Structures are given as C-alpha cells and as structure tokens.
Amino acid sequence: MSDIRDLGVRAAELDARDELAGLRKQFVLDTVSDHAADAAGVYLDGNSLGALPANVSGQVEDVVRRQWGELRIRSWDESGWWTAPERIGDRIAPLVGAAPGQIVVGDSTSVNVFKAVVAAVRMAHSADGGAGRDEILVDATTFPTDGYIAASAARMTGCALRPVTPAQVPAALNDRTAAVLLNHVDYRTGRLHDLPALTAAVHAAGSYVVWDLCHSAGALPVGLDEHGVDLAVGCTYKYLNGGPGAPAYLYVRSDLQDRFDSPLPGWNSHAEPFGMRGDFEPAAGALRGRVGTPDILSMLALEAALEVWDGVSIEAVRAKSLALTDFFLECVGAYVGEGRVESVTPVAHAERGSQVALRCEGAGEVMKALIERGVVGDFRHPDVLRFGFTPLYVGFADVERAARVLGEVLAQVPGEVLEEGLPEGAA
Amino acid sequence: MSDIRDLGVRAAELDARDELAGLRKQFVLDTVSDHAADAAGVYLDGNSLGALPANVSGQVEDVVRRQWGELRIRSWDESGWWTAPERIGDRIAPLVGAAPGQIVVGDSTSVNVFKAVVAAVRMAHSADGGAGRDEILVDATTFPTDGYIAASAARMTGCALRPVTPAQVPAALNDRTAAVLLNHVDYRTGRLHDLPALTAAVHAAGSYVVWDLCHSAGALPVGLDEHGVDLAVGCTYKYLNGGPGAPAYLYVRSDLQDRFDSPLPGWNSHAEPFGMRGDFEPAAGALRGRVGTPDILSMLALEAALEVWDGVSIEAVRAKSLALTDFFLECVGAYVGEGRVESVTPVAHAERGSQVALRCEGAGEVMKALIERGVVGDFRHPDVLRFGFTPLYVGFADVERAARVLGEVLAQVPGEVLEEGLPEGAA
C-alpha cells in the first residue's frame, strides 16, 4: 500500500516530468489549489464532455459575426463551409490512424452507426455468396444507442440482431454473419477491446466490422488503416473536445468507398450536388457518407478545437493516460477504505481505456457529494462512479486530489462494504 | 407599365407604411443607400441562408464561454441543454400552426425526411388493410434530396417510389399508396402548393402525407394542425434565420405519436434515456422523433434567432411578402428590357411563396454581376435567377433597387430574348 504522505509529492514529481503538461493552458479550466478547494475543480468528465479549448470562442465569434453576419451566403465558398465535413475529417484522421480522404464529419453518432451498419450489411450482401448473410452481431454491453440503431438496421435490411459480448464474437461468427458492430472502449467499465484481433476474426469469417470509437479516439492509438478496419464511427465531444453535441464522424476505408451504399443518400453525398438532378449518383470517396447541409457553427467550433492536437503524439497521450489511471488506482487504494469501492476497469493496460469505473454502494449520492467538492466525474446506472482522464489537460495533482476527496466523502457517507464482484456479463 | 420615375417614391411610401419595418434593426445588415451602392447590399437570399439576428452572437458567446467553458457537463441540466430539442420545437410551433408538444428540433432536413417517410409508411402498413400499400408518391419537382431520401425509404420499406407532379397527386392516389411526400413551396419556381386540398386528398385515399416546409415556414401561414397534416419537416436556416446548417425539425401530429415508429431510434428517443437499458422503449410524444445527442451550439443559436418572432403575426408576414413580390414583379416589368426574363413564379397569390424565380439567358453570369453590384440572390441550374423576400428584414426600397440593378446588368450583358416558355414539367 502506498504511503499517503508521499502521494502528493509523487503527483508533483509526475506533473513536473509530464511532457504534455504544457497543453493544459490551451484549455479553459479552473486552477487546482488545495488552499481554495471550493473554487477550483478537478474535471474528470472529459470522457463525457471535453473541456473548452481556449481558442474556440474566438473562432465561433468569427463564424457568427463575420462569416455568417457579413459574408452570409458567400461563406459557403469563401469561408470553406461547403468542404468542412471532409476537411475536418482529414484533421481527425491522424488521431485514429487513418490516411486522408476516408473520414467525413456530420450528423450524430447514432445516425452514423445507422449509415455504417446498413452499408456493412449491403457490402456483405453484394459480395459473392453474401445473400445468405442475415445476421448482425452487436456488442451486448454496448452503449445502448448502438444496440437500438443496430436493431433498426437489422429490421430494415432483413437481418436478425444477435447480441454477444465481444469475447463471444469469434465463436459467434459464421457464414450467416453480415456485419458486426463493436465498441472499442466500453462506455461503462472502460474496458478496451482488442480491435486488431476482433477485426481479423470478422474478416476471416468473410464479414464486415463497424467500430464505435466514441471512448477511444483522442485517448489512445486506434490504427484504423493499420488493422484494416472496414467502417468506424465516433463522436467528437469527448476526448476531441468539440463541444456539446458536436458532429460525429464516419470512416469508410478507401477501397470500400465505391461499395458504400448509404441508407441516407442526401444531396450532400451526390456526385454533383448543385446539379439538382432527379437521379441519384453518389459522390466518389468519403463524401459519400455526407447527408444534408452541414451544421456549420458546431462543425467549425470542432475544427478550432482540433488545433490543440497540432504536434501532439497520440502515443504520448496514451502513455500519460495509462500513467494517470495507474496513479488513480494507486491513490484510491491508499485513500479509500477497504471494500468501499471495486474497480470494474481492467488492471491490464492492454484492456484499459482512459477511464476508471468504480463500483460503489450509493454511487449516485457519492457522485453528488464529489461534485459538490469540485471533483467532477459522473454516475452510470446502477452503481458506477465513472472518472475520465483526458491526458491533454488532466494532471497527476488532479488525480491525487480526486482520490483523496473520494476517500473523504466515503468516510463521511454511510455505506456498506461491497460483498460480491460484478457479474461477468455486466462488465 | 409603371412609370420608372415613380417607383422610388412608391418604395419609400410602402416602407413608411410597413408595420414590420421596425424588425429590420434586429438583424445585422448593411444600410441600403443609393449614394454608397458598392458598400451597401440588398440581401435577397434569405430563402437560402437567413441574415444574422443581432442577438445571436451574445447568446452563442454565453453558450461557449459560460455554459460549456465554466459549467461544462452540468449544463445538460442547468442550462437546459437536454430539453432544447422539444423546447425549441415549441417555439417554432406557432409559426407553422402547431400546438405545443408536436415538434422536435435536431438533425438535418434529409435525416428528418427519412424518419418521416419511413414512419408514414409504417403507419399505413399498421392500419387495417394496410399491408397492400406498397407505393410512395413523391413530388417529381421537389428539391432533389427529398427524392433521394424517399427512394431510400421506399427501398428499405419494400415500397416502390412513384414521382408525380403535385397536380397529378389526386389522380395518382389509390389503395396502394402508403405515403406521399410533398413540398409546400417549390425551391426553384417559388410555387406554393395547396396543402389543405392535397392533405385532404391523401387522407381520403387512406394514406399519410409528409410535408416539407423548408421554403414556407416563416414566410407564410402553414396551418399544420388546422389542416390535419400527419407529418412535416423543415429547415431552420432560411426564413427562420437559425444560421448555416442549423438543425431541422420534425412535426408528428399528436394523435399519431403513439404510432410513430422511427427508423432511427437513438437513445435520445428512449422513454428512459439514462436508464441505459438494452431494450428499446420509445418515449411518449414528440420526443420520439429525437435520435442522438443534440447539437447544442447550433441549437441554442437557433433558439436566440427565434426571439425576433415574439409578437410577430405570420399573417402580417404573409401580407408583406406578397406585397414585396408583387412590387418586385412590377419593378422588373418597368426596369428590365422586354423578353429578357420570364417569371416562373405564379402570379396568383394563392400559388406563390416568398420568392420570385426569373428564367434568364446566361443566368449564372447575370447573378454574378448582380452580386458584384451588391444585389444578392442565387442561381439555380440551369437558367433561373432566384430572389427570396424575407419580410422581417427586406424592405420595398431593397426591392426597387434590386430590380433596377437587374435592369442595368441586363442592359450591359449581351443576351438573347427568351423565345419559349419553360416546359410544364420543369416548373
């Protein structure tokens, strides 16, 4: 067990050695200070809504006042509005290991899951011998919207939906599998799934895989191109700090783009959008994933937010992320009474995303008390305290303080010692 | 023919009598001045992108700096982010003649067309004897995206798509008609279709109608409830001035909401979105039309933009709109050489939206020359000059100047006199 007296010193040392520490000043955040604990805060909810990058306000003001207010309609060309979805997609691409020309930004994650899963099924059906593929596998532990949308995609493509845990996927794959929808990092437990191995297994079965990167993009290397992923979707308001409800993105691997047959063929995905033609001819490339008029205010806020990544290595982000979560687990072990919490996030680095989820009696009330003391995480039904660690702006002193305050809160709140582990299936 | 010397005087008189004239100062617009024609502009493209309401910048700044930057995740509750889609829907409702609780804001128009058409087909199929209804009628002259999306909806619901002109709809309806998608105002010609009569005809045939209000909402009374419309969609960046790519909206008549079966059942449309349940149980009411996380920056910019409508009667807007387009046609008749342009917008008030479309040889070049001289309309392929009249901020002096500059441009540009009318089908 760690010596509590040393943890604060250790945190300061780790912060001093942190090569990403300088990025924090690019975000709007309270200063962490033990002497003014009520005023300062520790923000560990960047896995739900990333903090505001400092340059976004100015960019949004320019978009509203000058681009919209003065140039008005001319901005579709002159301010680059029309090409924003693919331009910003190319800015996200290196963060998820994709070459340019494969990502477009727009719509919500849910809408992009629909496009991707339907398109994946159609790719399977259009392949030799694909007619008999009538099953979609979906991560049974997924964020619910993916499951709901996958069910709709199944219903509308004549498939059955089969929920399985990611671990069960290899055994569940067969020549009836049309498509597989998986989450890279589980939203609740923070478990990182094995994208390379699962992608290879899906391909070996002659099927297509859609990865949801909401909880991994911007926190760890994804390697979409390297691992031959077929399709992927993700949001931009978590580790990419694009702002509340910022547009999501869709990746379609370049050699599959000609076969990407969208269920939402809006005019923005037409080869000649201003031809106003009655017949639909899909655009070449990633543009085929576009649908309607892009949401410019949110999209250009995101574009500004992505500037913080200039020169940042995602490998360095990953290294810091693991150091932060390791240190948090160590501090929790030191500060929190025995048996009051149980981590449902894997200890193995290869299985851990950038969050720590602690099972805790009365988790909803505990999180309220933490937030009152300036430590902001979130509560996930039914009993999980979720803490997200955003390496761009979270430091080791934040981590130490969060664990310490958690210990104080639990010492004051009546609670039973946990007696049983979380069931395997719910993890 | 009007006396050209009088038109400027007439414009001034009409502006002096305009009860909506005071609203113009609520928008960011150049001052119209004959003495500084290069600096000032006449903006007649509000039917494509509405001008910036002056209060939007401040609201957006608050959303970015305080709500996102300081409150961060707490704003989902404390700043009313979570309920924005239905709250802003209720703000749009009176402008389209809808009681509260029937409209949600979010996604693009294209995505909402998909939701509405699929849901309409499912309503038809779930009705007694509905199984044989396998045809979707779509306005053959519609904005292309509606046709593309309707084709996808047909493909995914086992229907055939049958394009017809709105005039042909009554004769085309039969007991195979599952759903009908129509535009209230044609994007190109500005023709206003007869929503009450067409809605009644669709209902008489036992089918369901989806109206696209993109070019009518905010320009004229729609009367969704009064005329018993089933479903409707619309954008908010034209006459509602919500900003570039601002989120669209979906109307589902209250007594049909329990039967609204969305093809995009995202977690935001769940009865218990934070229950994170694996099974999908749709929310009651208009919320069922929501999908993913709402796009807050754009949505709250729209909310601010809608404040300009407080106390404004849509009937007064309609009266001024018709007076503006009447006056424009009169000025064009006086200023533009005989036979150089031909209006493809109906003369009859009952058939006219809030734009005037002029067929013109070399329309693309003519529009460029107009824009260089500060008169901003737009060009629609292949030969249409399109001028939109937004009664909240366009005045009669703008109208007179636009027609006068058009006459000057055409006098300087070589062009042939038009010899034949536009083919009926293309109108």
The residue among B247, B282, B309 that closes a domain is: B309
Please report the pLDDT score of residue A60 as a whole number: 98
DSSP label of B192: B
Q: What gap in Å lies between CA A39 and CA A21, rounded to an integer?
A: 22
Query: Is B336 part of a structural domain of the chain?
Result: yes
Interchain CB distance below 8 Å, B73 and A292: no
- Partners of B427 on chain A (C-beta within 8 Å) are none
Distances (CA, A) of A7 to A3, A333, A334, B76: 7, 11, 9, 34
Any domain includes A273: yes
Distance (Å, whole) CA A120 – CA B410: 53
**If pLDDT is split at 50, 70 and 90, which confidence band does A142 have?**
confident
- Reduced to 3 states (helix: H, G, I; strand: E, B; else coil), residue B25 is helix
> A274-283, A292-301, B125-134, B137-146 — which one is most confidently predicted on average?
A292-301
Q: Please give, one letter per residue, the 3-state secondary structure of chain A.
A: CCCHHHHHHHHHHHHHHCCCHHHHHHECCCCCCHHHCCCCCEECCCCCCCCCECCHHHHHHHHHHHHHHHHHHHHHHHCCCCCHHHHHHHHHHHHHCCCCCCEEECCCHHHHHHHHHHHHHHHHHHCCCHHHCCEEEEECCCCHHHHHHHHHHHHHHCCEEEEECHHHHHHHCCCCEEEEEEECECCCCCEECCHHHHHHHHHHCCCEEEEECCCCCCCCCCCCCCCCCCEEEECCCCCCCCCCCCCCEEEECHHHHHHCCCCCCCHHHECCHHHCCCCCCECCHHHHHCCCCCCHHHHHHHHHHHHHHCCCCHHHHHHHHHHHHHHHHHHHHHHCCCCCEEECCCCCHHHECCEEEEEECCHHHHHHHHHHCCEECEEECCCEEEEECCCCCCCHHHHHHHHHHHHHHHHHCCCCCCCCCCCHHHC
Report the 10 Å Cβ neighbour count for A74.
15
Asked whether the predicted pLDDT for residue A293 surpasses 50, the reply is: yes
pLDDT of residue B62: 98
**Active-site residue set of B:** 143, 212, 237-238, 386
Q: Could you report the per-residue pLDDT of A314-372, keeping only the tens digit for each?
A: 999 999 999 999 999 999 999 999 999 999 999 999 999 999 999 999 999 999 999 99
- Put simply, the answer to whether A57 touches B56 (Cβ < 8 Å) is no
A&B contacts, CB < 8 Å: 248
Q: In terms of CA atoms, which chain A residue is nearest residue B143? A: A276
Q: Are B54 and B29 in contact (CB under 8 A)?
A: no
Residue A144's pLDDT band (cuts 50, 70, 90): confident
Residue type (1 letter), A52: L
How far is A4 from chain B, CA to nearest CA, in Å? 31
Cα–Cα distance measured from residue B158 to residue A45, given in angstroms and rounded to the nearest whole number: 44
A267 at interface of B, judged by CB pairs closer than 8 A: yes
Q: Say if residue B164 is in the same domain as residue B191.
A: yes
Whether A359 and A371 map to the same domain: the answer is yes
Mutate to test the interface with B, among A26, A31, A62, A108 (most CBs of B within 10 A): A108
In this predicted structure, the answer to whether residue A415 has a pLDDT above a threshold of 90 is no
Report yes or no: A39 at the B interface, CB cutoff 8 Å. no
In this predicted structure, what is the pLDDT of residue A4?
A: 75
What is the torsional sign of CA A193, A197, A201, A204? positive
Measure the CA–CA gap between A236 and A249, rounded to whole angstroms.
8
Q: Is the ipTM of this complex over 0.90?
A: yes
Confirm whether A180 is domain-assigned. yes
Cβ atoms of B418 and B341 within 8 Å: the answer is: yes
CB B288 within 8 A of CB B252: yes
Backbone angles phi, psi at B352, to 5 degrees: -120, 130
Q: Measure A388 CA to nearest chain B CA, in Å.
A: 13
What pLDDT score does A381 carry? 85
A414 CB burial (10 A radius; 0-12, 13-18, 19+): exposed
pLDDT at B45: 95
Residue B45 with chain A: CB contacts under 8 Å: 72-73
CATH number at residue B293: 3.40.640.10
Tell me, yes or no, whether B286 and B321 share the same domain: no
In this structure, are B177 and B290 located in the same domain? yes
The helix/strand/coil state of B209 is: strand
Q: What is the pLDDT along chain B (427 residues), one digit of tens a residue?
A: 567 779 999 999 999 999 999 999 999 996 444 444 444 689 999 999 999 999 999 999 999 999 999 999 999 999 999 999 999 999 999 999 999 999 999 999 999 999 999 999 999 999 877 889 999 999 988 888 999 999 999 999 999 999 999 999 999 999 999 999 999 999 999 999 999 999 999 999 999 999 999 999 999 999 999 999 999 999 999 999 999 999 999 999 999 999 999 999 999 999 999 888 889 999 999 999 999 999 999 999 999 999 999 999 999 999 999 999 999 999 999 999 999 999 999 999 999 999 999 999 999 999 999 999 999 999 988 899 999 999 999 999 999 999 999 999 999 876 655 544 443 333 3
Banded model confidence at residue A417, pLDDT cuts 50, 70, 90:
low
What's the whole-number average pLDDT of chain A? 93
Domain assignment present for residue B324? The answer is: yes
CATH of the domain at A392: 3.90.1150.10
Query: For residue B253, what are the CA distances in angstroms to A13, A212, B103, B229?
Result: 62, 34, 9, 7
Of A292, A309, A326, the residue at which a domain comes to its end is A309
Residues A156, A168 within the same domain? yes
- At B421 the pLDDT is 43
Predicted local confidence at residue B41, as pLDDT: 85
B167 in helix, strand or coil? helix
With an 8 Å Cβ cutoff, is B53 touching chain A? no
Closest C-alpha among A96, A210, A84 to residue A146? A210
What are the φ and ψ backbone dihedral angles of B278, each rounded to 5 degrees?
-75, -30
Contact A148 B247 (CB under 8 A): no
Give yes or no: residues A48 and A152 share one domain: no
Same-domain pairing of A112 and A173: yes
Q: A374 in a domain, yes or no? A: yes
Query: pLDDT at position A131, please?
Result: 80
Q: Which of residues 122-151 of B touch A (CB under 8 A)?
A: 140, 143-145, 147-149, 151
DSSP state, residue A97: T
- Residue A111 and residue B110: Cβ atoms within 8 Å? no
**Cβ–Cβ of A56/B70 closer than 8 Å?**
no
Question: Are residues B256 and B151 part of one domain?
Answer: yes
Number of domains in chain B: 2
Which residues in B lie closer than 8 A to residue A164 (C-beta atoms)?
none
What is the SS3 assignment for B212? strand
Q: Do A149 and B264 touch (CB under 8 A)?
A: yes
B243 within domain boundaries: yes
d(CA B408, CA B198): 42
Q: Average pLDDT in the A250-270 region?
A: 97
B395 found inside a domain: yes
Q: Hey, are the CB atoms on B156 and A378 less than 8 Å from each other?
A: no
pLDDT at B366: 96
- Residue window 308-347, chain A: list those with CB within 8 Å of chain B: none
Q: Which residues of A touch B73 (CB under 8 A)?
A: 45, 48-49, 376, 378
Residue A297 exposed, middle or buried by CB count within 10 Å (0-12, 13-18, 19+): buried
Find all residues with CB under 8 Å of B426, minimum gap 6, and list them. Answer: B141
Establish if A117 touches chain B: CB-CB under 8 angstroms. Answer: no
Residue A271 has pLDDT above 90, yes or no: yes
Q: Which residues of A are catalytic?
A: 143, 212, 237-238, 386
Minimum CA–CA partner of A245 in chain B = B295
From B280, B309, B338, the end of a domain falls on B309
Shared domain check, B105 and B47: no
Contact B101, B90 (CB under 8 A): yes
Distance between CA atoms of residues A182 and A202, nearest Å: 11
| Alpha-carbon B299 to chain mean position | 17
Which pLDDT score, from 0 to 100, does residue A42 have?
Answer: 95
Chain B residues close to A235, C-beta within 8 Å: 293
pLDDT at A3: 73
3-state secondary structure A177-245: EEEEEEECECCCCCEECCHHHHHHHHHHCCCEEEEECCCCCCCCCCCCCCCCCCEEEECCCCCCCCCCC
Based on the fold, state whether residues B329 and B295 are members of the same structural domain: no
3-class secondary-structure state, position A84? helix
Q: Which residue of A233, A293, A303, A376 to mutate against B (max B Cβ within 10 Å)?
A: A293
Domain that holds residue A46: 4-53+313-426
Based on the domain organization, do B232 and B363 belong to the same domain? no
What percent of chain A clears pLDDT 90, i.e. is strictly above it? Answer: 87
Amino acid at A205: A
Q: Say yes or no for a CB contact (<8 Å) between A73 and B48.
A: yes
Residue in A263, A295, A301 nearest the CB of B247: A295
**What are the φ and ψ backbone dihedral angles of A204, each rounded to 5 degrees?**
-60, -30
Check if A282 contacts B (Cβ < 8 Å): no
B-chain CB neighbours of A290 within 8 Å are none
Domain membership of residue B371 (yes or no) is yes
Instruction: Provide the pairing of β-strand A160-164 with A135-139.
Output: parallel
φ, ψ dihedrals at A78, nearest 5°: -65, -30
| Pair (A228, A107) in one structural domain | yes
d(CA A3, CA B178): 72
